[in-house]
Amino acid sequence: MFDSIVNGLSAWQVVDKQNLAATTIIGFACALYLIIYLLSHKPRQPLPEELQYQTINASGKIITRTLPTLMEMKEKKLDSDVILSVVIPSYNETARIKSMLSESIKYLDESIHKRWEILIVDDGSSDGTSEYCLKLAHEKFHLHNGELRVLKFFQNRGKGGAVREGMLHVRGKYTLFADADGASKFSDVEKLMASVQNMERIKEGTNTYPAIALGSRAHMVNTEAVIKRSLLRNCLMYGFHTLVYIFGIHSIKDTQCGFKLFNREAIEQIFPYLHTEGWIFDVEILILAMRKNIAFKEIPISWHEVSGSKMDLAIDSIMMAKDLVVIRMAYLFGIYQDTRVVTKLD
């Protein structure tokens, strides 16, 4: 009888330990879920005055109009003859954007005359970026009504928020988002366009497949342009790339290049579901593309360093690392939803 009691107590202790372990695991998972939920991002809704854009006519008059959305144009079946839209996120860029616009407008006029648009998203600038761009459009570039449009935020949202909002209001069949500093050679958009058109794999009687071409500086890692960067900048760059690799993005060597091209189908499947408005938004784009089986490819481009970056290396690098963990875990826990539309390539 004594042996039976001892055996019973031993069995109870084993069960109790198992219950304790299970309770600990569940408690840890719940705590982690709560932390990720509290740290997760939700895009800021546009203010009423941010639902309009400004353009300039031939006489130099600034015109304000309601900003049509991508989905409204699709639902109303509003066709556009715009082949390429260019979204330029801008924050206090009066010192750098002129040369970028000069290069891009020259290329666009020569390659796809009158079938392009530029949408500058002014992310709450205090240096008159919006007014400066409209002035350039009239006085220097002599643009026609609507060729250059300006969307102005009255509260800063971050680069990701500016790109997201711009991409949701384009008219082109293809859209490039490009940094305002002009660090990337604009004519390399030809390489990205060719890549996207190849990945679209258009077939008679079917829709165009979503596709993305990613401008890349990875081939320049041992060049003077990168070597001349500060030791801190290069160390943070390698550390971030390692973290991105650990979190599942293995095939892309340069996630952060501000020169990416999307076809309209890819925009519709990615940008309405983008959560992050900070610097890490490029990585979330790739995570969404992988989750939805959207075709993407890295394309080497020409690039050079341009001074005047708005990024605080130390602080923003820490925030990017934190946001990367949050993004991955938020999708894992189902906190982030992507209303998945899986595309099957055969």
User: pLDDT per residue over 14-43, tens digit each?
Assistant: 556 667 777 888 888 899 999 999 999 999
**Which of 85, 87, 159 is closest to 123 using CA atoms?**
159
Q: Does residue 340 lie within any of the structural domains?
A: no
109 inside domain: yes
Residues 130 and 262 in one domain: yes
pLDDT tens readout for residues 108-122: 999 998 899 999 999
Range of 144's domain?
A: 48-333
Instruction: Give domain status of residue 345, yes or no.
Output: no
pLDDT tops 90 at residue 180 = yes
As a whole number of angstroms, the distance between CA 149 and CA 57 comes to 11
Q: Strand order of the sheet with strand 295-300?
A: 62-66, 52-56, 148-153, 116-123, 84-90, 174-178, 259-263, 211-216, 295-300
Number of other residues whose CB lies within 10 A of the CB of residue 152: 19
Residue 146, number of CB atoms within 10 A of its CB: 15
Residue 167 lies in a domain: yes
Q: How many Å is the maximal CA-CA distance in the chain?
A: 104
Q: Is residue 201 part of a domain?
A: yes
Report pLDDT for 190.
Answer: 97
**CATH number of the domain bearing residue 294:** 3.90.550.10
Residues 31 and 54 in one domain: no
Q: How far is residue 142's CA from residue 159's CA, in Å, rounded to a whole number? A: 28
Shared domain for 291 and 181, answered yes or no, is yes
Model pLDDT for residues 287-335, shown as the tens digit of each residue:
999 999 999 999 999 998 888 888 887 788 889 889 999 999 999 999 9
Most confident range, picked from 205-209, 213-217, 301-305 = 213-217
Asked if pLDDT for residue 53 goes beyond 90, the answer is yes
pLDDT of residue 230: 63
Q: What is the pLDDT of residue 33?
A: 92
Q: What is the model's pLDDT at position 205? A: 47
156 shares its domain with 21: no
Residue type, position 66, single letter: T
DSSP conformational letter for 280: T
- Asked if 147 and 216 sit in the same domain, the reply is yes
Asked whether residue 57 is domain-assigned, the answer is yes
Are the beta carbons of 183 and 84 closer than 8 angstroms?
Answer: no
Is residue 343 included in any domain, yes or no? no
Whether 338 maps to a domain, the answer reads no
211 and 87 within one domain: yes
Instruction: Quickly tell me which residue has 């699709």 as its tokens.
Output: 74
Q: Are residues 248 and 278 in the same domain?
A: yes
Q: In this structure, are residues 216 and 299 in contact, taking their beta carbons and an 8 Å threshold? A: yes
Q: Taking 70 as the threshold, does the pLDDT of residue 346 lie above it?
A: no
Percent of the chain whose pLDDT exceeds 90: 61
30 and 61 together in one domain: no
Task: Give the mean pLDDT of the chain.
Answer: 87
Predicted confidence (pLDDT) per residue in 125-177, tens digit:
999 999 999 999 999 999 988 899 999 999 999 999 999 999 999 999 999 99
Query: DSSP code of 110?
Result: H
Between 294 and 80, residue with greater pLDDT: 294
Residue 234 and residue 143 share a domain = yes
Q: Which two tokens stand for residue 254?
A: 């340069």
Measured distance CA(313)–CA(254) in Å, rounded:
17
Q: Clarify whether residues 25 and 54 are in a common domain.
A: no
CA-wise closest residue to 217 among 263, 260, 166, 174: 260
**Same domain assignment for residues 174 and 303:** yes
Q: How many domains does the chain have?
A: 2
Say if residue 14 is in the same domain as residue 155. Answer: no
